[in-house]
C-alpha cells in the first residue's frame, strides 16, 4: 500500500485578499449662498455608493458615503447576499465634518464556495462605530468569467482552480518528494510570489510546512491513500485544513 501526501502552499491569488484602503477626503458641498451644509440638516439615513457594481477578481472600486454623522469612524464590511457568513471588516474610515467619506478598495480574488457559480453576489456595508449604529449598503457582483482555469495533476490525481494567467512548472524531483511551482512567469523556486505543491509519500504536514517556509496555519493538506479493488488502483482522498 502506497500513501501519497499532497501539500499546498497557495498564495493570495487563490485566497480571499485583504483590501488596500486609500481613504481620501471628499470635497465639501455647499448650499445656497455658499454656506457650508449644516450638520443638523443631515438626514438620519446615510447612503453608500460604489463606482462599479460589478467587476472581476481584485477589481479596484471607489466606495463613497454621504449623510453619515460628522467626524465618526465607519467600518467598511464585505459579505454575501443573502448572508451566508458573517461580514468581515475591510477597512475603517473617519467621516469629514459633513458626514462624508471616500475610499479605494481592492475587491477579493475569490469568495469561498462561489467559483462553480462563476460569480459571487456580495454586499458592501458601511457601519458607524456609534451607539446606535447607522448602516448603509450597496451590492457588488464579483464575476469569475474567464478568470480561472482548471489544473489537473495526474501524479496526485486531483484538480485545482488556478488564475487564468498562471503557469505550472514541470515536476521537480527533490529529496522531499515531487514539487510543482505555480504562478505567473518566471517561476523561480523560493520566490515569495510563486506557490508550491509538494507531493510526498511519507512527509508529515509539520515537516512539509517547515520545508515550504509556510507554517501549518496557511497550508491545506490533501491526503491521498492508494487502494486496490480487483486489481484496479483507487484513491481515497481526505482534505485537512
Question: How many C-beta atoms surround the C-beta of residue 219 within 10 A?
Answer: 20
Residues in the chain: 241
pLDDT score of 188: 87
Residue whose cell numbers read 457601519: 127
Please indicate, yes or no, whether the overall pTM of this predicted structure exceeds 0.85.
no
Query: Which is it for strands 101-106 and 88-94: parallel, antiparallel or unpaired?
Result: unpaired
pLDDT score of 140: 96
Q: What are the average pLDDT values for consecutive 10-residue runs of the chain, which has 241 residues?
A: 55 44 47 48 80 94 96 94 78 95 91 85 95 95 90 85 89 84 88 83 56 44 50 46 38
Residues whose CB is less than 8 angstroms from the CB of residue 22 and which lie 6 or more positions away in sequence, other chains included = 103, 104
Residue ranges per domain, the chain?
3-14+148-240, 32-143
pLDDT score of 201: 67
pLDDT score of 211: 52
Residues whose CB is less than 8 angstroms from the CB of residue 92 and which lie 6 or more positions away in sequence, other chains included = 73, 74, 75, 76, 129
Q: Tell me which architecture the domain covering 32-143 has in CATH.
A: Sandwich (2.60)
pLDDT score of 115: 82
Phi/psi of residue 90, nearest 5 degrees:
-95, -35
Phi/psi of residue 161, nearest 5 degrees:
-75, 130
Residue whose cell numbers read 504562478: 183
Amino acid at each position: 500500500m502506497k500513501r501519497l501526501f499532497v501539500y499546498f502552499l497557495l498564495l493570495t491569488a487563490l485566497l480571499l485578499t485583504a483590501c488596500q484602503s486609500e481613504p481620501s477626503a471628499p470635497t465639501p458641498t455647499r448650499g445656497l449662498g455658499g454656506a457650508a451644509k449644516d450638520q443638523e440638516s443631515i438626514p438620519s439615513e446615510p447612503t453608500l455608493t460604489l463606482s462599479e457594481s460589478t467587476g472581476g477578481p481584485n477589481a479596484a472600486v471607489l466606495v463613497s458615503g454621504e449623510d453619515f454623522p460628522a467626524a465618526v469612524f465607519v467600518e467598511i464590511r464585505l459579505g454575501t447576499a443573502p448572508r451566508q457568513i458573517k461580514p468581515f471588516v475591510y477597512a475603517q474610515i473617519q467621516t469629514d465634518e459633513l458626514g462624508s467619506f471616500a475610499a479605494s478598495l481592492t475587491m477579493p480574488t475569490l469568495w469561498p464556495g462561489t467559483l462553480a457559480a462563476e460569480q459571487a453576489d456580495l454586499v458592501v456595508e458601511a457601519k458607524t462605530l456609534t451607539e446606535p449604529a447607522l448602516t448603509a449598503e450597496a451590492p457588488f457582483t464579483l464575476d469569475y468569467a474567464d478568470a480561472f482555469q482548471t489544473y489537473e495533476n495526474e501524479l496526485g490525481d486531483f484538480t485545482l482552480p488556478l488564475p487564468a494567467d498562471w503557469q505550472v512548472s514541470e515536476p521537480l524531483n527533490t529529496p522531499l518528494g515531487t514539487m510543482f511551482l505555480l504562478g505567473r512567469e518566471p517561476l523561480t523556486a523560493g520566490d515569495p510570489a510563486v506557490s508550491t505543491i509538494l507531493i510526498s509519500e511519507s512527509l508529515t504536514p509539520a515537516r512539509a510546512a517547515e520545508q515550504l517556509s509556510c507554517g501549518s496555519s496557511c497550508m491545506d493538506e490533501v491526503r491521498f491513500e492508494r487502494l486496490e479493488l480487483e486489481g484496479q488502483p483507487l484513491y481515497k482522498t481526505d482534505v485537512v485544513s
